[in-house]
Chain A
Amino acid sequence: DTGVSQDPRHKITKRGQNVTFRCDPISEHNRLYWYRQTLGQGPEFLTYFQNEAQLEKSRLLSDRFSAERPKGSFSTLEIQRTEQGDSAMYLCASSLAGGPYGYTFGSGTRLTVV
């Protein structure tokens, strides 16, 4: 297991286009998290899954954002009708549930909306 993988590493898209990011967590981890990070800010929570169930969503997650984890393994985050304000680093992390375990983060996907 090589840790948490995210794809793509970079994405440049035109305003109004849809984009989809993928995250492959550590296989033993049943929790998967999505965060967004902009310049000068810490990671901001978007949503998380336990197995295939989406348990919590942040108010930051507008209706243009949707996340799935269909089989409780990899996850996708889709942004529809992208806006310039969506430009950010999108981070995925995974962990075990049921205790104060730290997260293992991926390298992130940097989105630039032009």
Chain B
Amino acid sequence: AQRVTQPEKLLSVFKGAPVELKCNYSYSGSPELFWYVQYSRQRLQLLLRHISRESIKGFTADLNKGETSFHLKKPFAQEEDSAMYYCAFSNQAGTALIFGKGTTLSVSS
């Protein structure tokens, strides 16, 4: 079955520390992968897409097909990064996104 696994429910770091939010997917083809973020009392919003190879708010994510991973990274965490982060996946046929259970990132000073 196609699924997305985010192994950490909660990740707590200090301001300025590096951050890595893990995401693994199960799919043998070429996936389309996304990271979504939900700040407190706000709606779910797109953070970045793997196909864009972009950096948003200092976050990057690299698709590793060998490890079927799409980990989200930021070299220096900021307090405003505290939020819930969801990894999401779609197959080549463009079916609806499948979301992981999410990881809460807490950045403290």
Contacts and interface: CB of A to CB of B under 8 A. Distances in A.
Main secondary structure of the interface of A (DSSP, over half): loop
Interface string B80-109: 000000101010001111111110000000
Given A41-B101, A42-B100, A43-B99, A106 B43 contact: yes
B49 A100 contact: yes
Contact of B96 (A42, A56, A99): A56
B11 interface: no
Contacts of B45: 104-105
B63 to A, nearest CB: 12
B46 A102 contact: yes
Interface in A64-114: 91, 93, 97-100, 102-108
Contacts of A40: 9, 101
B86 A108 contact: no
Contacts, number: 49
Interface residues of A, number: 23
B51 interface: yes
Say which size band chain B's interface belongs to: 20 to 34
Contacts of B95: 56
A44 B99 contact: yes
Contacts of B46: 102-104
Interface in B1-50: 4, 6, 9, 32, 34, 36, 43-46, 49
A98 to B, nearest CB: 8
A49 B46 CA distance: 20
27 contacts: A41-B101, A41-B102, A42-B6, A42-B86, A42-B100, A42-B101, A42-B102, A43-B86, A44-B99, A45-B96, A45-B98, A56-B95, A91-B44, A100-B49, A100-B51, A100-B90, A100-B94, A102-B34, A102-B36, A102-B46, A102-B49, A104-B45, A105-B43, A105-B45, A106-B43, A107-B43, A108-B43
Nearest 3 pairs of A and B residues by beta carbon = A42-B99, A102-B46, A100-B32
